[in-house]
Structure 1
Amino acid sequence: MEFEEVLEKERAVRKFTDQRVSEKTVRAILADAQRSPSLLNSQPWRAYVASGDVVKEIRAKFKKLTESGEQPREDFASVMKVEWDTYPSQNMATMSDTLNYFLRGEMKQFDEAQITLFNAPTLVFLTIPKKSPAWSIFDLGAFAQTLMLSAVDHGISAMPAHAIVRYPDIIRQYMPIGEDEAIGMGIGLGYKDKRASINDYRSVRENLDRVVKFIK
């Protein structure tokens, strides 16, 4: 697949079908991600892949906690900013408004998607050591983006989401992730449900001239 096509198709998918993704395909995607750059070749990332009954059990426990009002307790809480600068705040507000308009007030689709972990048949949990410099977070982001672009190239859709890692203690009940590792990101992999209208939404991107400055 040409890069422009991959980039065009790489969109957050908020509802997947029940069709499973083969382990062979997931391995190929992760092999591509492993080629991502990192500071001093530190390669701080680790990936833990859940599928089948494990995903169903994690989803059920997450759903129960969320519906009971349990607050998120993600490992990255100490490095996640609660207050946002004006510029990103405006972009988030724009997304909220446009998404609500697109769904014609049916925002329950958006909430349900997060509660059900997007019905993703495969969940990839990405970690870095808790004893890591801030650069390792950047490296993890590079790994995640390469993973998602590779997924598209393999005909697989992806959804990176905070909702997938909000209860790390539940994740550790099923995945061999040590307490010395911080679960930083969760990515759902699967096949896009073409019948779900929420998957047709596309966020608005800023004009290039607002985010890029050429100095000569």
Structure 2
Amino acid sequence: MDFKEVLDKERATRKFTDQRVSEKVIREILTDAQRSPSLLNSQPWRVYVAMGKAVKNIRADFKELIEKGEQPREDFAALMKVEWDTFPSQNMSTMSDTLNYFLRGEMTQFDEAQVNLFNAPVLVFLTIPKKSPAWSVYDLGTFSQTLMLSAVDHGLCTMPAHAIVKFPDVIRKYMDIPDDEAIGMGIGLGYKDKRASINGYRSKRVPLDKIVKFAKE
């Protein structure tokens, strides 16, 4: 697939079908992601793939905790203090407004998608050691993006989301993830439900000149 075509198709999918994803394809995607750049070749990432019953168990436990009103307790909260600057805050506010308009006020679709972990048949959990420099977070980001672009090239859709990693104790209950690794990113993989209106939404990006400055002299 041409790179621009891959880039154009790479977008958040908020509802997947139940169609099974081949383990062979997942291995090919992860092999591509393994080629991501890394500080001093440290390759701090580790990958844990949940399929079948493991996904169903994680989804059920997440849903139960959410319905009980449990607050997120993701591993990265202990590594990074989230304090957004004005510029990203404005961008997030714009997304909220445009998404609400796109769904014609039916924001329950958005909430339900997160509670159900987007109905993803595959959940990929990415970790780094808890004893990691900030550069390892960057490395995890490059790995994630390469993984998602490769997934699109293999005919799959993706959904990276905080909702997938907000209860790490539940994830560890079903996945053999050591306590000294921080579960930093969760990505849903699968095939897009073309009937779901929420999958038609596409967030906008700010104009290039708003983020770029060239120094020529």
1:83 is displaced (CA, Å) by: 2.3
Q: Which residue of 1 aligns with 2:113?
A: 113
2:57 is the counterpart of 1:57: yes
1:204 deviates by: 1.0
- 1:196 is aligned to 2:202: no
Matched, 1:37 2:34: no
Following the alignment from structure 1 to structure 2, what is the Cα–Cα distance between the partners of residues 83 and 52? 37
Identical residues among aligned pairs (%): 79
Deviates more, 1:75-84 or 1:104-113: 75-84
Tell me the equivalent position of 2:136: 136
The residue type paired with residue 33 of structure 2 is A
SS in 2 for 1:183: strand
Shift of 1:12: 0.3
> How far 1:28 moved relative to its partner?
0.4
Provide the rounded CA distance (Å) in 2 between the counterparts of 1:106 and 1:20.
29
Alignment-mate amino acid for residue 15 of structure 2: K
TM-score w.r.t. the length of structure 1 is 0.99
> What is the rounded CA distance, in whole Å, between the counterparts of 1:67 and 1:21 in structure 2?
29
Displacement of 1:79 in angstroms is: 3.0
| Post-superposition CA distance 1:88-117 (Å, at most 9, x none) | 000000000000000000000000000000
Give the CA deviation at 1:20: 1.1
> Counterparts of 2:108 and 2:80 in 1: how far apart (Å)?
26
Partners of 1:132 and 1:81 in 2: CA distance: 15
Shift of 1:78: 2.0
Partner of 1:203: helix, strand, or coil?
Answer: coil
2:46 match? 46
Residues 129-170 of structure 1: per-residue CA shift (max 9 Å, x gap): 001000000000000000000000000000000000000001
CA shift for structure 1 position 27: 0.3
Alpha-carbon deviation of 1:81?
A: 3.3
Instruction: Note if 1:3 corresponds to 2:10.
Output: no
Provide the aligned length of Structure 1 versus Structure 2. Answer: 216
Alignment partners' CA distance in 2, 1:140 and 1:82? 18
Q: What SS is found at the alignment partner of 2:203?
A: coil
Q: Name the SS of the counterpart of 1:189 in structure 2.
A: strand
After TM superposition, give the deviation of residue 121 of structure 1 in Å: 0.1
Structure 1, unaligned stretches of length 5 or more?
A: none
- CA deviations 1:46-81 (Å, max 9, x no partner) are 000000011001000000001110001100012343
Query: What letter matches 1:208 in structure 2?
Result: L
Question: In the alignment, which residue of structure 2 is the partner of 1:157?
Answer: 157
Q: Which SS does the other structure have where 1:186 is aligned?
A: strand
Q: Match for residue 81 of structure 1?
A: 81
- State the distance in 1 between where 2:195 and 2:112 align: 16
Q: TM-score, normalised by structure 2?
A: 0.98
What one-letter code is carried by the residue in structure 2 that aligns with 1:102?
A: F
Deviations 1:181-200 (A, max 9, x none): 00000000000000000000
